[in-house]
Amino acid sequence: MEKVVGGLTHPTNLVSDGSGDRLYVTEQRGLIRLLKGGEIDSKKTPFLDIRNEVFDQGECGLLGLAFHPKFAENGLFYVDYTTKRPDLKTIIAEFRASPGSLRAEAGTERVVLTIDQPQANHNGGQLQFGPDGMLYIGMGDGGAANDTAKGHHEPGGNAQYLATMLGKILRIDVTPRDAYAVPKDNPFVTNPPVPDARPEIWCFGIRNAWRFSFDRKTGECWCGDIGQDIWEEIDLIVKGGNYGWRPREGFHATPKIQPPEEPKYSPAIDPVLEYKHVDRNVSITGGYVYRGKVMPDLVGYYVYGDYASGRIWALKYENGKVVENVELYHDWGLTPSSFGEDANGELYVCAHEPGVIYRIVAK
């Protein structure tokens, strides 16, 4: 873990705009910092400051950032943040910056999507443009334990209820200048299992998809879904997939749901891997499949970590099964809130405390 820069306040994400060595770090309180050449290029004036809009208590805050695939031409980027307007909400908003500029224009905000949040936890927060050019959005189940946040629907809570966007990964088209469009090939656009199913849904049965990413070689979507009582899990996300929460946690029936429930609408898709809540491993942070050049032995491995234990692992998945899962690094003091990928596919880690960005390098 090679230190790149410190002095940040609760970094939650690191993203490249696809050009050279420019990296952007979101701070939970509502700032985006520009890193250029390994240094903070925006110490006095951040790339974007929306602290007046952001509610950053608990798991809330500025949680996600994604640059438009044509950012070099249109200057558009997207953020995911929680606010109180006046009640708690997730906001997906678009901003504009002149390509190459050191500052974005806060006054260019265009709210794309607003989702009411019943609780201040399980907000999701990941934004990622897929290989198809669509924007994917990670949404948690709305909080509380056992998916019982206000507004939940029995049986199965929000994550199994298709009329809400909570507990889902969403997929939208941000091309229209008025809100967004729903891609016609989303799974519930035609012949939905229930009439009021939200057409924005790409998959469901998610507890808190804090971080997911697309393999830049294969296009596969890898997700770390944070568990509750016993199990953390890694999923391969597919169109219309049901990932089992709340009836299931990992491969298992959720222990506190009595009597046991069954997943609705379709069978639950098994995770690629699960790990148990032992030795302070209790909160998965999803990462990336490594496709860089400086660590050839790591190519093709999915790199992920645990926020609480400070462990980082690498997983090899071939022919539908895990063939290797090795611990790369361990530091009790490391709190990996997010992984990041630069334009060349090299990997970084955001340490929520003490506010440090590291680059993963070979020994």
Domain boundaries along the sequence of the chain = 2-359
The whole-number pLDDT of residue 39 equals 80
The whole-number pLDDT of residue 37 equals 78
The whole-number pLDDT of residue 149 equals 86
The CA-based dihedral angle spanning residues 212, 216, 221, 225, taken in that order and rounded to the nearest 10 degrees: -20
Angle (CA) 195 239 281, round 5°: 110
The whole-number pLDDT of residue 355 equals 96
The whole-number pLDDT of residue 225 equals 98
The whole-number pLDDT of residue 20 equals 81
The whole-number pLDDT of residue 21 equals 83
The whole-number pLDDT of residue 329 equals 97
The whole-number pLDDT of residue 99 equals 79
The whole-number pLDDT of residue 359 equals 96
The CATH superfamily label for domain 2-359 reads TolB, C-terminal domain (2.120.10.30)
The whole-number pLDDT of residue 44 equals 73
Residues of the chain short of pLDDT 50, as ranges, are none
Question: What does 106-169 look like in DSSP terms, one character per residue?
Answer: EEEEEEEEEEE-SSSS-----EEE-TTSPEEEEE---SSGGG--TT--TTTTGGG-TTSSTTEE
